[in-house]
Structure 1
């Protein structure tokens, strides 16, 4: 195989060469995504979205077109990534100058029509997003905020909020992150010890669930309320 044609593209590239080019580009995408950090994956601002769309489009073109240069594709992918990191840095320093800011769509139970027009949000868009948040009645809502990354946050009126344990004068309930204790028949020793538990306690809980053979347990997890979940 001609390596110059492999990197710069050719009509006569064999199938295995196209497969290798696709793998290289995919690895480059993974590395670029790691460089851009969690923000790129979890919080998409305007420039984050443009970079993500541009990189994916570029990689797809290079993967499908055997005549395209994979070298230039990799260079552009990393240039996009570093530009995105730089803009994210500027966004932290001067958020109002680089990215959008949060916009109030409803305040005091009143829909702010001008803000909705500025954000190009229709009443159907708003109602659909509110339903996804479990807010079906506008009369129960005090404030609606459109966040810079496109998500809607809802603040209900005090009388529409559910009762809390504090309001009911109930004792404080300790909550914790659900933790895996057994996976595929093997005890997660680190997790077990971090909770201050031992093998005797674990086996007692498993016996309460009707199991005495650890090898048959696919998943055992300590849930936030102290319950042990087990699946065979």
Structure 2
């Protein structure tokens, strides 16, 4: 066999082998998520593949066997580490506290061979510019810094303000590249008839829709191929809220207009009930 043909064949064999071993060995991990052991193993497997690919005098089977061993050993260690924290800490490393109660743990910083400049850079990447604002910071095994700000420096949440908010459902993409996706529609309990009706309301043709999604409230939002066309915002929630407020105002007006005490009490009672309902629904209907 000609040398260049041999190299082409070897390259394809090792390319496929590397792809399969990497997919099996690393799964969905990104490069930044690899442990030191996995990183070294990946480099070694790549070096073996390159050496056997270009070294025509080398036996291709020897290279495949070596790559398989270098893949099987980390895989076995990974299985053992699932049940043993000691093995997991040894193979993958463990998190170390770097900042506690606004104080830098210098000894831990030295153990990780981490400079103060690197620490400050990591903090700035998380929009933290003062160490004293940090309650807790942990250097993870993959090198990322996890930061918990002190309570007074954390942004306010709806829970802090004791405000009830509506639960959020996963948005479903129902149109992509002008094609209707039936499965996401059925996941939200909708059908093509509803979708076509919503498109008619917006005055948009299916062919002009690049992307359309149903949000957690069942409203359709669209992105069109023609960006010059302005798609009206969904009005279901504002209309429903306005209708409820109108009904509540009508009940109060009826109570003022009637001369019957019983009727006044009934109108006021129902107006108060509707006010209570509106207050509960406001987080869901707010836009």
What are the equivalent positions in structure 2 for 1:20-39 lying under 5 Å apart? 20-38=9-27
**Pair 1:35–1:50, CA change in 2 (3 A):** same
Larger Rg computed on CA atoms: 2
Counterpart residue number, 1:161:
154
Counterpart residue number, 2:60:
70
CA distance in 1, matches of 2:179, 2:190: 16
Q: CA contact under 8 A between 2:6 and 2:56: conserved in structure 1?
A: no
Q: CA contact under 8 A between 2:138 and 2:145: conserved in structure 1?
A: yes
Tell me the CA shift for residue 57 of structure 1.
2.6
TM-score in terms of structure 2 length: 0.67
Unaligned runs of 5+ in 2: 226-287
Counterpart residue number, 1:81:
71
More helix by share: 2
Number of residue pairs aligned between Structure 1 and Structure 2: 220
**Pair 1:187–1:155, CA change in 2 (3 A):** same
CA distance in 1, matches of 2:213, 2:41: 39
Q: After alignment, is 157-166 or 82-91 more displaced?
A: 82-91
Q: In the TM superposition, what whole-angstrom CA distance separates every residue of 1:111-134 from its partner, at most 9, and x where no partner exists?
A: 000000000010111111112222
Q: CA contact under 8 A between 2:99 and 2:138: conserved in structure 1?
A: yes
Tell me the CA shift for residue 206 of structure 1.
4.0
1:146 corresponds, among 132, 139, 145, to 139
Counterpart residue number, 2:209:
217
Root-mean-square deviation (CA, aligned residues, Å) is 2.5
Tell me the CA shift for residue 95 of structure 1.
2.5
Q: In the TM superposition, what whole-angstrom CA distance separates every residue of 1:26-82 from its partner, at most 9, and x where no partner exists?
A: 111121123225365473122111112222232333444444443222222222221
TM-score in terms of structure 1 length: 0.82
Higher relative contact order (CA 8 A, sep 6+): 1
1:133 corresponds, among 126, 129, 154, to 126
**SS of the counterpart of 1:134?**
coil
Q: In the TM superposition, what whole-angstrom CA distance separates every residue of 1:67-108 from its partner, at most 9, and x where no partner exists?
A: 444322222222222111111122222223433111000001
